Amino acid sequence: MKNIKVAVSGACGRMGKTAIEAVNADPALDLSGLIDINEIGASYYGIKVTNEIKQTNFREKTDVLIEFTHPKSVFENIKKALSENLHCVVGTTGLAEAQLKEIEKMALDKNLGVLIAPNFAIGAVLMMKFAQIAAKYMKSAEIIELHHDKKADSPSGTALLTAKMICENIKPQIKNPDIINLGGVRGGIMKGAGGGEVNVHSLRLPGLVAHQEVIFGDIGQTLTIRHDSLSRESFMPGVVMAVKEIVKRKGLIIGLENIMEGF
Ligand code: NAP
């Protein structure tokens, strides 16, 4: 079978560089293009970094774009990739609902697949699923997400999705009035349609990669579900899985769990 040709957008960033290594290490994938606004003209594995998502800038006709750039540029990059007939595997978080709708329509019109995952680490996907189940049985939950200090958006896309999944299941609570002596100290509050709510707290510190704790409380007990990405390699099996699957799909898929077998 023909290898899948893959370009990486945000190629010179932390995730992009790790993705280049993952693509290069997989015998079923060929690295064919690199895009970044930095290091233009630099070369990795014989592929030059260019500043535009364009088939004619790639070494050969490319099937999939991996996107790890910035919340400010991801939407335009996906639209550009679809117009260049590229399936997309997107890790950049921060897309708005209206943008997701536009991407879905464009992908369907072009007969292409777009997979957007706030977290490509299999353990993080399991952490979210376990939290969603626990929310049915425990009274209250709060989320603490911890990331490196260069992360652009807060809270993380993973925390937003986890909070949404918990809110669907958790029952509304009667809360005592708070006396707040420092603004924001109780975090951001995500409210579910059924009245359940979850406080989300974001920590940004050098030395961290990507971590999240979901702490449930009930009478006389707590349950803590924690996931730690200790290096960026943790995201790569999920990224590679998504690249191999998205070439067979059409439209928009949100979340790695939607392509994981038996999930
Ligand atoms: P990073 O180190 O800042 O890398 C991003 C790279 O993309 C930088 O070189 C950046 O240049 C470049 N860039 C910015 N705008 C661009 C554009 N329009 N076209 C091409 N390149 C552009 O960031 P990172 O740590 O790799 O993270 C990238 C994204 O992935 C973030 O949104 C992060 O939250 C997300 N992420 C997702 C997962 C997941 O599993 N889904 C895991 C980790 C991270 P400048 O430095 O000049 O801006």
| Residue % of the chain over a pLDDT of 70 | 100
What is the pLDDT, as a whole number, of residue 261? 86
Cβ atoms of residues 131 and 156 within 8 Å: no
Q: Is the CB of 91 under 6 A from ligand 1?
A: yes
pLDDT at 82: 98
- Check residue 57 and give its pLDDT: 97
Q: Is the pLDDT of residue 106 over 80?
A: yes
- The answer to whether 124 and 227 have CB atoms below 8 angstroms apart is yes
What is the pLDDT at residue 120?
98
Ligand 1 binding pocket includes 75 (Cβ within 6 Å):
no
Ligand 1 centroid–CA 226 distance in Å is 24
Residue 91 pLDDT grade (very low, low, confident, very high; cuts 50, 70, 90): very high
The structure's pTM equals: 0.93
Which pLDDT score is estimated for 127? Answer: 98
pLDDT of residue 95: 94
Residue 220's pLDDT band (boundaries 50, 70, 90)? very high
Whether 73 is in the pocket of ligand 1, judged by its Cβ within 6 Å, is yes
For residue 238, give the 3-state DSSP assignment.
Answer: helix
d(CA 249, CA 31): 21
Q: H or E segment at 24?
A: helix 14-25
What band does 231 get if pLDDT is binned at 50, 70 and 90? very high
- Mean pLDDT, rounded, of the chain: 96
- What's the CA-to-centroid distance between 73 and ligand 1, angstroms? 9
C-alpha 99 to ligand 1 mean position (Å)? 18
pLDDT at 40 over 90: yes
According to the model, what pLDDT value does residue 178 have? 81
Q: Whose CA is nearest to atom 1 of ligand 1?
A: 13
**What is the Å distance from ligand 1's center to 159 Cα?**
18
Start-end of H helices in 26-121 = 74-83, 97-110
Average pLDDT over residues 200-209: 98
Pocket flag, ligand 1, residue 103 (CB < 6 Å) = no
Backbone torsions φ then ψ of 202, nearest 5 degrees: -115, 125
Q: Give me the residue label for tokens 């995952």.
A: 117
Q: What is the pLDDT of residues 154-199, one digit of tens each?
A: 999 999 999 999 999 999 987 777 899 999 999 999 999 999 999 9
Q: How confident is the model at residue 262 (pLDDT cuts 50, 70, 90)?
A: confident
Peptide bond into 155 cis (omega under 30): yes
